Amino acid sequence: MTSLILDNVCVDFPIYGSQRSLRRVLFDRATGAFVERKKDRITVKALRNISFTLNEGDRLALVGHNGAGKSTLLKTIAGVYHPVQGRILVSGTITPLFDVLPGIDLEDTAYENIRTAGMLFGLSRERIEEIMPDIEEFSELGEYMGLPVRTYSTGMTMRLGFAFATAMDPGILLLDEGVGAGDARFMERATKRMEDFIGRSRIVVFASHSNALVEKMCNKAALMQGGCMLAIGEVKDILERYDALIRGGGGVGASVDEAVALA
Amino acid sequence: MQLDVHFAPWANTYDDAVRPHTMKAGEDLIGGLRKHDVWGRLGWLEIKRRYRRTIIGPFWTCLSLLIFVIVIGSVGSGLLSRQTAEYLPFLVAGMIVWVTLQNTLLESVNVFVAGTGIIRQMSFEYSILVYSLVWRNFIVFAHNLLVYLLIFLIFAPEKLGFANLLAIPGLIVLAVNCAWLSLLLGIVSLRFRDLQQLIMSIVQVAMFVTPLFWPPEGLEGLRRVLFVGLNPLYHLLTIVRDPLLGGKLPPVNSCIAAGLITIAGWSLTYAMFAKFRKRIPYWL
């Protein structure tokens, strides 16, 4: 049984500026000023007390303004960031699909990058060779597959990342918006492939600005603002609240001011 | 992808196989070591990248080492009034070990920064980055062995024999030490970016202070205690170099010292890693 449980998860980002220096810390320690300095260290409270439970078949959309904490939440579920408080419990395998191939190197060819990324994801060599023809075909990179990725256009690099990610077997799928951009023809094919991919996943957490996509793909939604989850529930209700929030002028500025706090 | 949630058998178990999505330092170090195909590949690709579009490729490292050894060797044998035929083999055996140690130290301050592209995308064993760094430096060592063989075949063929293979246990100890060094330096220098400059200057000075160009017997009294006896780099160097110099057994003192350095180094590094592993993505 696949499930994902977040229990009171908080994430803080310390912002290091000039104080990221050994001399400063040693000096301050020696002069006993360390405790004081800590007071003016800026911490961005990126996620605050997030709790929810997802079970098999749940497709959760995260909606909210830029900087509301959607991507941070996805990366925290993926295990990139460790919560400063609370815990995340999972049963199943997690497939993060963010902006690029993990460990991509522009000097390497597409084949090499796919093998590296595949191995990082724990695929066996045989499995990587199995999915390779599918990636070749879907990305339509042709001869470029054997050339260094630095010779690719932005769209081509994205196609490669998209083709690789969607060739895998997802358990708990984490999707960030903007995955799979490209020309109109590719978008059409990508949307179809994405639907199939989401269909194969057991749980999906999807950050998006596109209401149409959210309504089509998801059966649950959560509204985020300033690192808090304001509401979680039916897609229709949440999208209505989100629209109200936009019209009500609860703009980005307010939430950023709120999010930056002196720890 | 199989980002199976790793858990230790001794950890608390939860109902319905639901596990906390975190990785402990020990799981990271051991799980990472097991993924030798991943760090092997990352290390190998880095070497490939470095020499792409060059004509003689990895043999550049051999060539530059050869030039260094011949030039410094000629000057050094004059200064120390020793036979070139005797001094060059001594120098080259030390240099191939030193280059490995030095490059590991210099590269380790960037080990996590270089891995940003992976760290920011997924949860994985950070130690993989460290193992791949050590691995690629030992690939370079293997290349440099050619220079060693060349110099020894020309000047001291009688000192080549099966007994030189006694260097292998020393090399393993060296690799184990390179791993903690680069993990520790990687963590500290990620938080305090000054460390990179500091390491650069230490490595530069250490090259002259460590008995690399001159034999340890050349110093006496307090200086010898200071620069030879208390110099950890000397002990790590000598456990590999002595067997390379015609199958000599390294001094017992150095073997014990190397063992102590390994234990102390790993204890400290493990404590740091256990404490700060979670902070690594935040410090990037």
Q: Does the pLDDT at position B237 exceed 70? A: yes
Nearest CA in chain A to B191: A20
Closest residue on chain B to A44 (Cα): B282
Of B21, B37, B121, which is closest to A102 when you measure between CB atoms?
A: B121
Q: Which pair of tokens denotes residue A25?
A: 């810390």
A12: helix, strand or coil: strand
Q: How far is the C-alpha of A74 from the C-alpha of A176, rounded, in Å?
A: 8
**In this prediction, what percent of chain B has a pLDDT beyond 70?**
94
As a whole number, mean pLDDT of residues B16-32 equals 83
**Residue A79 sits at the chain B interface (C-beta within 8 Å):** yes
Chains A, B: CB contacts within 8 A come to 122
The pLDDT of residue A32 is 46
Is the pLDDT confidence value at B98 over 50? Answer: yes
Question: Nearest Cα to B50, choosing from B40, B39, B41, B61?
Answer: B61
pLDDT beyond 60 at A260? no
How close B164 gets to chain A, by Cα (Å)?
37
The answer to whether the CB of A59 falls within 8 A of the CB of A234 is no
Rounded to a whole number, what is the distance in Å from the CA of A45 to chain B's nearest CA?
Answer: 13
DSSP state of A146: G
Q: Residue A258: pLDDT above 50?
A: no
Which of B178, B147, B146 is CA-nearest to residue B72? B147
Interface of A with B in 169-228 (CB under 8 A): 169-170
Condensed to tens digits (0 to 9), the pLDDT of residues B108-145 reads 999 999 998 899 888 889 999 999 999 999 999 999 99
Cα–Cα dist A35/A42, whole Å:
14
Cβ-defined contact of B278 to A77 (cutoff 8 Å): no
CA gap B147, B170 in Å, rounded: 19
Assess B41–A contact: CB distance below 8 Å, yes or no: yes
pLDDT of B11 strictly over 70? no
Residue pLDDT, tens place only, A109-159 = 999 999 999 998 888 899 999 999 999 988 888 888 999 999 988 888 888
Asked whether the beta carbons of A81 and A72 are under 8 A apart, the reply is yes
Compute the residue count for chain A.
263
- Joined together, the tokens standing for residue B284 give 């990037």
**Average pLDDT of B209-230?**
87
pLDDT at A40 over 80: no
Residues of B in contact with A28 (CB under 8 A): none
Per DSSP, the three-state class of A87 is: strand
Residue B14's alpha-carbon distances to A1, A78, A90, B3, B9, in angstroms, are 13, 20, 10, 19, 12
The verdict on a CB contact (< 8 Å) between B18 and A122 is no
The 10s digit of each residue's pLDDT in A237-255 is 898 898 888 887 654 444 4
Q: What's the whole-number average pLDDT of chain A?
A: 80
What ipTM does this complex have?
0.81
Chain B positions touching A169 (Cβ under 8 A) are: 1
More confident residue, A154 or A263: A154
**Mean pLDDT score, B238-247:** 92
Residue A31 has what DSSP assignment?
A: T
| A184-223 exposure pattern, b = at least 16 Cβ within 10 A, e = fewer | eebeeebeebbeebbeebbbbbbbbeeeebbeebbebbbb
- What per-residue confidence (pLDDT) applies to B169? 94
Work out the pLDDT band at B31, boundaries 50, 70, 90.
Answer: very high
| pTM, to two decimals | 0.86
Q: State chain B's mean pLDDT as an integer.
A: 88
Is A180's pLDDT higher than 70? no
Q: A90 contacts in B (CB within 8 Å)?
A: 5, 18-21
User: CB-based contacts of A134: which residues, under 8 Å, 6+ apart?
Assistant: A163, A167
CA distance B80 to A95: 62
Q: Which residue has the tokens 């077997």?
A: A169
Q: Which residue of A23, A78, A115 is in closest CB contact with B122?
A: A78
Distances (CA, A) of B255 to A232, B161, B210, B242, B251: 63, 22, 17, 11, 7
Domains with residue ranges and CATH for chain A: 56-79+92-249 (3.40.50.300)
Q: Test B3 with A1 for CB contact under 8 angstroms.
A: no
Contacts of B76 (CB under 8 A, 6+ apart): B82, B87, B91, B213, B214
pLDDT tens-place string over residues A93-110: 888 877 678 888 888 899
Give the DSSP letter of residue A81.
S
Mutate to test the interface with B, among A75, A91, A205 (most CBs of B within 10 A): A91
Residues 102-121 (B) with a CB less than 8 A from some CB of A = 115, 117-121
pLDDT at A257: 41
Residues belonging to chain B: 284
Q: Report, as an integer, the average pLDDT of B147-157.
A: 93
